[in-house]
Amino acid sequence: MDHAARIAQLREEIERHSYNYYVLDAPTIPDAEYDKLFRELESLETQYPELLTPDSPTQRVGGKVLDGFAPVKHVVPMLSIRTETDTEASGASNFDTRVKNALGAADEIEYACELKFDGLAVNLRYERGMLVQAATRGDGETGEDVTQNVRTIHCIPLHLKDCAAEVLEVRGEVYMSRRDFNRYNEKQRELELQTLVNPRNGAAGSIRQLDPRLTAKRPLSFFSYGLGEVRGWTLPATHSAVLDQLAQMGMPVCNERAVVCGAQGLVEFHQRVAGKRDTLPFDIDGVVYKVNSLALQRELGFVSREPRWAVAHKFPAEEQLTVVNDIDIQVGRTGKLTPVAKLEPVFVGGTTVSNATLHNEGETRRKDVRIGDTVIVRRAGDVIPEVAGVVLERRPANVGEPFDLYRRLGGHCPVCGSAIVREEGEADWRCSGGLFCPAQRKQALLHFAGRRAMDIEGLGDKLVEQLVDGGIVHTPADLYILGMSALADLERMGEKSALNLLEAIEKSKRTTLARFVYALGIRNVGEATAKDLARHFGKLERLMQADEAALKQVPDVGPIVAQSLLAFFAEPHNLEVVDALRRRGVEWDEHEGDGDQVLPLTGKTFVLTGTLASMSRDEAKSRLEALGAKVAGSVSKKTDCVVAGAEAGSKLDKARELNVAVWDEAALLEYLRESEKTIDPQIDAD
């Protein structure tokens, strides 16, 4: 291919990617890939200047004004700065050399060093200290009026402190923090709605929503890093002083910046930031060096579309392209089934990545990830690598079928063979073999031994890990056949500790039906629901044999809880473990159930506050629940009664404010004594 044809091809490809990114807010390739194409075009146009045309992407910043926004002509153009893609120390040294050569300077140059934020550049125009307009960069000359959207970003001041300048344009970056980005996407996945590709795309798409109310729902932040037009304000001598004064005016300025001298100072800043990149609360893809003196900036001036006095020094990209070789399905400790892309290894975010999460079946289908696809892989900080999107234009003709998790697994857990289930309204498929599945073993044992479940004192995280990893315990039933010989070789397990553990296991054999049901770890069955089930059915067999209609007769048991119970007890592996537990001595008192009985406090909500002298808070809660009450943690209009012990605090004040009934400890004890006489004393005998 000749040079002219290659240049034409590069221009067409860059324009297409620019349109996808800036106009559609739907990037199709990572920034690093775009930078490579752009630099190749720049290099060719430098070698063959006769082929340079005014409409080349290198002659403008990129982007296009959306039809839905009014155009804003920038008085001072918003030009981008040169990108140094050499991620080594030599990238900083090269910039320093260029600056010194351009100035003919022998002495070291002073530089202002900042972070290169990964968001959307905006220009904020303040007149007499008031925010009057906000505009995007656009093509550098003309941007988009996004004033109403920017006003929804709470960290951007609507009025600057002590600023009487006729005009002061502040430039900076709208971005989305990693935490906010992850929380937003997790919520979108729960609702089975479209997720954001990355924080930068999230910021750009949010600012350019036509409805400001949609922008307000997305968690955006802002950092200022420079100026546009200035009238009626005396500029300080340096760029760093400009940022200091902006901060004094109430404008957000990142504290992760420094003033350094010479190439060595630039190198040290680059290395220092690279070392803490993963711990920063937001994404950066490099650092920015600027000649600190504004006078020297003016002397250096511009070349083409870029200032000579600044450069962006890149870090290794956090997004890269690679190919999906296979899609595996992993089982988490709670039984969640997660599709994982097995990738052609790629270096991204400072490490080699060969696996990336696809989150769940719905997300995989929305992104339409298939075996053989070329995908964008993202890794930011310590976040698990994920597939952010598919490059459809690179999809091979023989690509695999759309992803179907159930069909792929034949309806069974890939680890234990139990049936997989997905509850109504849930995005995730789960293994139903909670007590049996090896992938869920540690979580199941820890829950089973918990204080509110079987209460096996001494059986904590580290011990469970040793028992499972050593192949000593496979299901909770195995705990009841442990002996000294099995425990003797465990790390930090002396004879006394082993005896104490065996004693706690033996003691746990005598329990209640409510505790046992809760200990089984059935999804959506918490402590209160377990008590309701035990009270209603009275016997484990009745609970295990109940159909959906019968389960829904229990207070607060709806279709989701009923589905969880039915799925759990329909799995033969779980029934085997329950049977083994009973055969190994776990027992409780049973009764005929009170399915038709209306308890004294059925439908009533209580709140406990303060300290009770005659019983613990847990005991009071248990006895109230045995009478049918729900015990909540906070007071509201739906609260029927607050029990106030000694040193009751804000909950008592809230109860009085809402005119909620208040009992002292004496009133509680009297009610409990009278009411408990009317029901079977064995019910919920905790």
Residue 44 contacts residue 4 (beta carbons within 8 Å): no
DSSP label at residue 401: P
Active-site residue, 116 included: yes
Closest alpha carbon to 31 in 89, 96, 117, 136: 117
Contacts of 416 (CB under 8 A, 6+ apart): 431, 433, 436, 437, 438, 439, 573
Per the rule left: phi > 0, alpha: psi between -120 and 50, beta: everything else, 8 is: alpha
Closest alpha carbon to 444 in 429, 464, 424: 464
Contacts of 96 (CB under 8 A, 6+ apart): 109, 111, 262, 263, 266
Closest alpha carbon to 101 in 109, 90, 112: 109
Catalytic pick among 36, 73, 100, 116: 116
Residue 164 contacts residue 129 (beta carbons within 8 Å): yes
Stretch (H or E) spanning 91 = helix 89-103
Cite the DSSP H helix spans in 191-231.
199-207, 212-216
Tokens 């089984």: give the residue: 520
| Secondary structure (DSSP) of 33-68 | HHHHHHHHHHHHHHH-GGG--TTSGGGS------TT
Please give the backbone phi and psi of residue 601, each rounded to the nearest 5 degrees, phi first.
-110, 20
* Cα dihedral across residues 28, 31, 33, 35: positive or negative: positive
Stretch (H or E) spanning 16 = helix 3-18
Cite the DSSP H helix spans in 509-558.
513-519, 527-537, 540-545, 548-551
Q: How far apart are CA 375 and CA 392, in angstroms?
A: 9
Closest alpha carbon to 421 in 361, 477, 364: 361
| Secondary structure (DSSP) of 410-474 | TTB-TTT-PBEE--TT-S--EES-TTT-GGGHHHHHHHHHSTTTT--TT--HHHHHHHHHTTS-S
CA atoms within 13 A on the CB side of 238: 14
Q: How large is the greatest C-alpha to C-alpha distance in the chain, in angstroms?
A: 100
Which residues, in sequence order, are bridge partners of residue 61?
none
Contacts of 404 (CB under 8 A, 6+ apart): 361
Residue 628 contacts residue 602 (beta carbons within 8 Å): yes
Contacts of 478 (CB under 8 A, 6+ apart): 472
List C-alpha distances in Å: 71 to 134, 136, 144: 11, 10, 5
Amino acid, res. 540: L
Q: Name the residues annotated as catalytic.
A: 116
